[in-house]
Amino acid sequence: MRLLYIFLICFIACLSSQLNAQDMPVEEPPLLFDNYQIFLKEPVEKIFKIEYEKTGKPIKGHMTEDKESIILQNYNGKDRVKITYRDTEGQKQSMSKSKCFIDPYVPL
C-alpha cells in the first residue's frame, strides 16, 4: 500500500511538471547574422520592394555596387523573400527566394 502511494505521488509530480513546461512561452531566438545576401542571376537596375512572401512585411535591404546581389539587413533567416525590381531592359519583374538561396553575409 505504501508503495502504491509513493508511485502515485511520483506520477502526479511528473505529470504536473509536464503541464507546466507546455504553458511556458517560447521566445524567438536571436538572429544568427546581422546581414544576409541574395545572389542574382542577372544584374538589376533598381529594387522597388523587398518583403516576406507570406506576410508582406517589408525587409530592409540594398543592392551591392556591382548590382549582382542584394544585402538584407533585418531578415529573420527562415522565411521566403519576394523582391520586386526593374531589370536592365527596363521591365518591372518580381522573384522569390527561399531560405536555401539566402546566404549569411559578413562584410570584409
pLDDT, tens digit (0-9, with 9 covering 90-100), for 25-45: 656 656 678 899 999 888 888
pLDDT of residue 34: 85
Residue type, 33: F
* Domain assignments of the chain as residue spans, ordered by start: 35-105
> CA-CA distance, 66 to 103, in Å (whole number)?
17
State if pTM tops 0.75: no
* Order of strands across the sheet that contains 69-72: 61-63, 69-72, 35-39, 102-105
pLDDT bin (cut points 50, 70, 90) of residue 2 is: confident
Predicted local distance difference test score (pLDDT) of residue 28: 60
pLDDT tens digits, 52-103 = 999 999 999 999 888 889 999 988 888 899 999 998 888 999 999 998 999 9
Question: Which set of grid coordinates corresponds to residue 47?
Answer: 529594387
Q: Which residues contact 20 (CB under 8 A, 6 or more apart)?
A: none
